[in-house]
């Protein structure tokens, strides 16, 4: 709805018969011929649902006129505001307003009078009953008041000036001041919001037309403990950028009261990287953001300096309170070295691609290598029957790897399990019929040192002469060592025949000797033990036969000399 001109005066709608009679009775009782307030009790109905009347209607005097306010009513088209110079009417409409308006300014109220206001809600089909009556009394023409508004004051003194002034009179602000609980508030003076002027206790001012309302200004103070420094990430990797946001307490307030304070982030540095060099925030506006690329691992601090500022009401601007009032916040963060993945591969065959992740490690880190029975993060079991684990190597075809600690290179790395087939050492008694033919329970791989067993076999008529190795033909005795060949090793017992006992020259020939052999009976060489066996065993027996023949010839010559 559009506002109607102030001179547009309309009577209220006619009432039904019972209410009309009641209205007449009230008029008689009041001694007035005017339309009474109760005539609003039954407004003309245009539907079935009557809207609620506006609540909390208030009227108060400001320097520019009488302000009327009320609470909103749901689902109405607008409001009609009525005014009267008597509490019970008659009321004349002064404003028709749309539903968005919840106040109006009456500038036609004359000084020295008391005015009464009601508001009616205008629904789609019906009007509401009248609201409560609000009233205000205007001072006589040319006489005005000073009103002091504490604006949240809860202690101290909010002045009350009962004097009346003419426009142009010189008025002095009282020395009494209010207070407000909380160390973050201090009284900042009295402000005339109509002109923007701020007055301190004891200041003079000129009374304006219509009076003046002075509102207390509260200077809020920033608290250093409310300053904040937040890092996007406190754990970085070399090459990452450290980023952060600094926020000062009350940094974005515009400033309304003299003496109020705030903190503004003004500079930052990274220790020890920048060695205390202070860098300004760019741009120097909220949000205050900064950052730097971190190339080296280590422990660092982001340090931000906050400048405390106060609002100068005279100049209407913020001013620094100097370095002595700075606040500094430092937040630590870590930069790790770049890490690379380490992976174990089982490597049973050149085509075996089974792997186990070991984790990520920085270059130069000494990584404890996995045991073959518990590999990597998943603790996989790589053990392999018939093979010995020889360590880990980046070359899958290597013959030897490393165990223990591994120095991580500056790149992703795969380590292959290196395997060597295991072999056995066996002992062959070669006809042994006694003693002990050793058994070696150990498994060997190529180039392992093998120690020959101390146990020895025996054989009737032979002397044990060591072990002959199949792989190299060498003869080894107990305690000797040899390098394990690439394959199994077999040691074969070596035998030397034992010689028969020689003749006793100091005794008569014994039965069974050649001297006692009947004439014509030839001794069997095989019974005397002279027939060689095979191989190298024939040589000793041939030599023994020659010696025996020479001895027999000597005996024959000696006997011949005695006969002569």
pLDDT exceeds 90 at position 560: no
Same domain flag for 81 and 23: yes
Choice between 262 and 520, residue whose per-residue pLDDT is larger: 262
- Number of domains forming the structure of the chain: 6
In a domain, 504, yes or no: no
Nearest to 82 by CA among 8, 1, 22, 29: 8
Torsion of CA 27, 30, 34, 37, to 10 degrees: -80
Last residue of a domain, one of 137, 164, 182: 137
Last residue of a domain, one of 454, 472, 497: 497
Same domain flag for 300 and 243: yes
Choice between 259 and 97, residue whose per-residue pLDDT is larger: 97
- Give the range of the structural domain holding residue 493, as residue numbers without chain letter: 425-497
Least confident of 36-50, 132-146, 416-430, 529-543: 529-543
Choice between 334 and 32, residue whose per-residue pLDDT is larger: 334
In a domain, 79, yes or no: yes
At 501, the pLDDT band (50, 70, 90 cuts) reads low
CATH number of residue 369's parent domain: 2.60.40
Q: Can you give the pLDDT at residue 388? A: 96
Exposure of 456 in the CB half-sphere (CA atoms within 13 A): 15
Q: Can you give the pLDDT at residue 30? A: 42
In a domain, 393, yes or no: yes
- Percentage of the residues of the chain whose pLDDT score is greater than 70: 80
Q: Can you give the pLDDT at residue 500? A: 67
pLDDT in tens, 414-440: 999 999 999 999 999 999 999 999 999
pLDDT exceeds 90 at position 524: no
Q: Can you give the pLDDT at residue 41? A: 45
Same domain flag for 172 and 215: yes
Residue 272 near residue 299, CB atoms below 8 Å: no
Q: Can you give the pLDDT at residue 4? A: 38
pLDDT exceeds 70 at position 405: yes
Q: Can you give the pLDDT at residue 540? A: 39
Give just the sign of the alpha carbon dihedral 27, 31, 33, 34: negative
Q: Identify the three-state secondary structure at position 146.
A: strand
Radius of gyration of the chain (CA): 61
pLDDT in tens, 267-281: 999 999 998 799 999
Residue 28 near residue 41, CB atoms below 8 Å: no
CATH number of residue 233's parent domain: 2.60.40.1930
- The pLDDT of 205-228, averaged and rounded, is 93
- The pLDDT of 43-47, averaged and rounded, is 45
pLDDT exceeds 60 at position 372: yes
pLDDT exceeds 70 at position 371: yes
Least confident of 64-68, 188-192, 508-512: 508-512
Strand partners of residue 111 = none
At 64, the pLDDT band (50, 70, 90 cuts) reads confident
In a domain, 507, yes or no: no
pLDDT in tens, 99-144: 999 999 999 988 888 999 999 999 988 999 999 999 999 877 778 8
Same domain flag for 215 and 245: no
Nearest to 469 by CA among 455, 456, 483, 458: 483
Q: Which residues contact 517 (CB under 8 A, 6 or more apart)?
A: 523
Torsion of CA 437, 440, 446, 449, to 10 degrees: -90
Same domain flag for 121 and 37: yes
pLDDT exceeds 50 at position 535: no
Same domain flag for 329 and 364: no
């Amino acid at each position: 709805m559009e506002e109607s001109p102030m001179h547009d005066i309309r009577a209220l709608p006619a009432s039904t018969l019972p209410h009309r009679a009641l209205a007449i009775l009230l008029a008689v009782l009041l001694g007035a011929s005017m339309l009474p307030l109760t005539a609003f009790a039954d407004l003309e109905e245009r539907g079935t649902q009557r809207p609620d009347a506006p609540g909390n209607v208030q009227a108060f005097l400001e320097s520019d006129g009488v302000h009327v306010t009320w609470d909103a009513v749901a689902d109405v088209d607008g409001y009609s505001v009525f005014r009267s110079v008597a509490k019970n009417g008659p009321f004349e409409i002064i404003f028709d307003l749309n539903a968005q308006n919840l106040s109006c300014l009456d500038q036609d109220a004359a000084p020295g009078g008391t005015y009464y206001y009601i508001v009616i809600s205008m629904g789609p089909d019906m009007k509401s009953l009248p609201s409560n009556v609000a009233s205000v009394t205007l001072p006589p023409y040319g006489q005005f008041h000073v009103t002091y508004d504490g604006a949240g004051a809860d202690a101290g003194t909010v002045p009350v000036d009962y004097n009346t002034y003419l426009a142009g009179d010189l008025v002095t602000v009282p020395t009494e001041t209010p207070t407000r609980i909380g160390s973050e508030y201090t009284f900042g003076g009295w402000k005339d919001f109509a002109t923007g002027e701020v007055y301190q206790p004891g200041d003079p001012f000129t009374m304006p037309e219509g009076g003046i309302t002075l509102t207390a200004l509260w200077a809020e103070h920033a608290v250093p403990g409310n300053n904040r420094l937040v890092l996007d990430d406190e754990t970085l990797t070399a090459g990452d950028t450290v980023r952060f946001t600094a926020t000062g307490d009350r940094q974005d307030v515009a400033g309304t009261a003299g003496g109020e304070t705030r903190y503004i982030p003004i500079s930052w540095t990274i220790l020890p990287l920048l060695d205390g060099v202070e860098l300004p925030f760019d741009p120097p506006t909220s949000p205050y953001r900064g950052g730097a690329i971190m190339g080296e691992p280590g422990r660092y601090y982001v340090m931000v300096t906050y400048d405390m500022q106060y609002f100068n009401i005279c100049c209407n601007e913020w001013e620094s309170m100097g370095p002595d009032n700075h606040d500094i916040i430092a937040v630590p963060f870590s930069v790790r070295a770049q890490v690379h993945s380490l992976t174990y591969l089982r490597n049973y065959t050149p085509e075996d691609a089974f792997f186990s992740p070991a984790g990520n490690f920085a270059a130069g880190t000494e990584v404890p290598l996995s045991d073959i029975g518990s590999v990597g993060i998943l603790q996989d079991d790589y053990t392999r029957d018939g093979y010995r684990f020889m360590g880990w190597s980046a070359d899958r075809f290597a013959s030897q790897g490393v165990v223990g600690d591994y120095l991580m290179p500056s790149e992703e790395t795969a380590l292959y399990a290196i395997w060597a087939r295991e072999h056995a050492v066996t002992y062959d008694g070669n006809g042994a019929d006694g003693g002990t033919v050793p058994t070696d329970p150990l498994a060997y791989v190529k180039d392992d040192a093998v120690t020959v067993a101390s146990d020895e076999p025996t054989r009737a008529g032979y002397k044990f002469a060591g072990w002959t190795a199949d792989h190299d033909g060498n003869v080894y005795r107990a305690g000797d060592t040899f390098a394990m060949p690439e394959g199994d090793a077999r040691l074969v017992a070596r035998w030397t025949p034992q010689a028969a006992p020689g003749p006793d020259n100091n005794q008569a020939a014994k039965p069974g000797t050649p001297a006692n052999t009947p004439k014509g009976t030839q001794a069997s060489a095989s019974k005397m033990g002279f027939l060689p066996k095979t191989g190298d065993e024939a040589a000793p027996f041939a030599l023994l036969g020659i010696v025996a023949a020479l001895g027999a010839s000597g005996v024959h010559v000696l006997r011949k000399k005695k006969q002569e």
